[in-house]
Chain A
Amino acid sequence: MSSKAEQKEKRKRLPFRWHKQDTELTLLALPTTIWYILFCFLPMFGIIIAFKNFRISGGFLSNVFKSPWVGFKNFEFLFKSNDAWVIIRNTIGYNIIFIILGIVLPVLFAIMIGLLHSRKASKVYQTMMFLPYFLSWVVVSAVGWAFLSFDKGIVNSMLVNMGGDPVNWYMEPSYWPFFLIFLNVWKGLGYGMVIYLATITSLDSTYYEAAIIDGASIWQQTRYITLPMLKLVIVMMFILSVGRIFYTDFGLFYQVTRDSNSLFNVATTIDVMVYKQLKTATVGMASAAAFVQSVLGCATILTANWIVRKIDSDSAMM
């Protein structure tokens, strides 16, 4: 505590001066800064499209500036749409499940792999779990089709061979929440695990040695050493994923379901809708939807951080 105060004092007493060190660090940060300005800050002005009746009158910029303002008219369709409720329910519902599973399962597997004695085996398992992450959803969609297609699918031909009737999987909404959740977990598990595993392997082994001498079982070691040490990382990952609660993986919900009409109620999320609007409706409407998504996302991340700070201020990010 005292050292922190001391440091502050020191900093205050120093006159503001540009150090050589500052130049170096600034230069080092320059590429990233430029990248951020170009690709993260400049595109933000596109938000005004959501409030405009988009008209062509030259290049993109002059289109944006010369189009007439329409206030909140572009937002109307979002809230007048009959399916707004279904879409928001899907988006948030799936995300809540993904967030929970996306923390519980990777932590569980990370702990299990961390406990393995054989280094080789743990590397092999880890790599195998990581592999699906590198597949694009388009590929996954094709693989899914190979399994679930009505006439040529593996699952259906197995069903028929066993004397059952083939099922038209892409027209049965009741199965799809499970398929989607399974695929998301399958694809994201290895990636989610990396950070937890890195934390676990970097934990000071003396804690465990002391615990073993005291006669702690593996369960007790996990419960009283590993999990408390992981808490900070878990909370951080939680806040990060909550901030994206209004975003969904477009590939998963659009590609894998093959845009099947029958699955509308279980597979349409905000991103899918924005894409479909872009195809048929105006740019203004699509950007309005994306704008609402960003604002809500920003609100949720701030709320989540606020709640975390109330409970445990050390874990909060901001």
Chain B
Amino acid sequence: MKKSWKFISMLCVLTLMLTALAACGGSNSASTTDESTKATDAPKDTTTVSKDIPTLVWWTIGGQVPNNFSKAIDAMNEYTAEKIGVKIDIKVASWGEWDTKINTIVNTGEPFDIMFTNSGKYSKQVAMGAFADITDLVQSESPDLYKAIPEKVWEGTKIGGKYYSVPTYKDSALTQYWVFDDKYVQKYNIDINNIKTLQDLEKPLRAMKAEGKNFYPMPMTQGDGLNGFFNEYDDLTLGFPPIGVKADDASRTVVSVLEQPDIMNNLKILHGLYQDGIINPDAPTKTEKDKGQAFFSAQAFPGAEVSWQINDAVEKYTMFQHYGPIYTTSTIQGSLNAISANSKYKKEALKYLELVNTDPKLRNMLAFGELGVDYQSVDGEKVIERTSDTWPLAAYTQGTFFDLAVQKGAPVDQWDQVKKLNDAATSSSILGFALDISDLQTEVANCQAVWDKYKYEVITGASDPEKMVPKITAELKSAGMDTIMKAAQEQINNYFK
């Protein structure tokens, strides 16, 4: 007995010593990073730093990395090293693992300089202190970048009155489209001009069911459901559809979205479509989309169908707008690049993002890959033709569309049309507001868990809304939805006072 006590006390002493050691290590590493940031802050040192050309780590999202990836990046680096004295090391998280991976990177403090983030994640990450406050830096260090992006879009990225990221200025206002495979439009004489609501869609979709028993005119997957279903409600950047403010509600009332009559009605239509085999029965469990769909819903912009046609090997897609364009805080926060609070090269990172947003040559290399391998230039940096679909990086995450080349086949004035859409966009009544959840984390986590439990079945129409919605709301209420709604209303009232 005595011996084991001795052993245990020994162990305790050992662990204590180790903690002490670990603590030392911690404070050391912190102080060194502090010093180095100070060093780069001093104007004298920047010149010496840029001489040995810093390499920035940029985490972004994309597909499978192709063999020529490093070669294409080298070409980019050669160009930027000469131009602004910065190189880039692009790390790609795949579409499926991005959520988890980015969380891990932020939480473990793995060093990075630039990171792609979006609505729903952004405010949490800022609350954690992961990103640098660039409010002043962006105006002093990269005035061209600041000027290139309209005030309204910058406003949308504000948290607590400060900028923590560079928004991607593109189709920043949301425009929702319905897309048919043109084959069926011709065959069933679908009059796309008279389709405005989900109800109008019912008739053509039901007609298309005539194709066969195993043909599902409105295929869905668990993650998407009917894309854009909750668009009419501003989600307060919470990324949690059951709570929102109707985008055109002047009184800015926070409501329980699922219980709203219009949403309820649409859910009933969706459920009807599901029951009649218009939606595939395995939608709530299906994870991957089939290539080439008879009908789908998408957030898009003029000319977007060109690349879908290439990717899906469909001859022609007919798409038409049915909602928007509208600015909400979430649509603007749909694509952001933030700079790490611990980055040694904050200024260089901003310079790089400035170049991405203002220099068509770099922009095209980033978006399309290696010239001559992944894409061919058709008209300088203005029109290009993609020759392979292997380049993994997602163009929408990197920077503005308005210095990007148009793909062959899309309208040449594509980006002007997108700009027009942005200009014509209405604003959500709570534009600029983002919910601060730092005091609500328990409630938000629990409500999210409840929604995660039911969402796939709700958004694909698999469950009967008349039974499910009351059940979900009851559970959400006991998980603390009322507390969130009350706090949200208070915050909104204060913000717009």
Interface check B284, CB cutoff 8 A: yes
Beyond known contacts A56-B109, A62-B30: 19 more, CB 8 A cutoff:
A41-B18, A42-B18, A45-B22, A57-B341, A59-B26, A59-B342, A80-B480, A82-B478, A168-B285, A171-B284, A260-B222, A260-B456, A261-B454, A261-B457, A262-B285, A273-B449, A279-B100, A281-B444, A282-B441
Question: Chain B interface: which of A63-71, A118-126, A246-254?
Answer: A63-71
Interface check B189, CB cutoff 8 A: no
**B281:A168 contact, CB within 8 angstroms:** yes
Give chain B residues whose Cβ lies under 8 Å from the Cβ of A264: 453
**B30:A281 contact, CB within 8 angstroms:** no
* 28 A-B pairs in the complex with CB atoms less than 8 angstroms apart: A37-B18, A42-B22, A44-B15, A56-B342, A57-B129, A58-B109, A59-B29, A60-B108, A61-B29, A62-B29, A81-B446, A82-B446, A82-B475, A150-B282, A151-B282, A168-B282, A171-B284, A258-B285, A260-B284, A260-B456, A261-B452, A261-B455, A261-B457, A264-B453, A279-B100, A280-B445, A282-B124, A285-B445
Identify whether the interface residues of A are mostly helix, strand, loop, or mixed: helix
A45 to B100, CA, bound (A): 23
A10 to B444, CA, bound (A): 65
Residue of B with least CB distance to A275: B100
A76 to B445, CA, bound (A): 10
Give chain A residues whose Cβ lies under 8 Å from the Cβ of B454: 261
**B285:A260 contact, CB within 8 angstroms:** yes
Interface size on A, residues (CB 8 A): 46
A170 to B110, CA, bound (A): 38
Contact with A along B98-109 (1 / 0, CB 8 A): 011001001111
Interface check B287, CB cutoff 8 A: yes
A-B contact count (CB 8 A): 138
Residue of B with least CB distance to A62: B30
Shortest Cβ gap from A91 to chain B (Å): 16
Shortest Cβ gap from B329 to chain A (Å): 19
Contact with B along A277-290 (1 / 0, CB 8 A): 11111110100000
A65 to B19, CA, bound (A): 11
Interface check B25, CB cutoff 8 A: yes
Q: Indicate the size class of the contact surface on chain B.
A: 35 or more
Contact with A along B271-283 (1 / 0, CB 8 A): 0000000001110
Contact with A along B442-472 (1 / 0, CB 8 A): 1011101110111111000010000000000
Near B by CB (< 8 A), chain A positions 47-104 give 54-66, 73, 76-77, 80-83
Near B by CB (< 8 A), chain A positions 254-308 give 258, 260-262, 264, 273, 276-283, 285
Give chain B residues whose Cβ lies under 8 Å from the Cβ of A73: 442
A81 to B443, CA, bound (A): 9
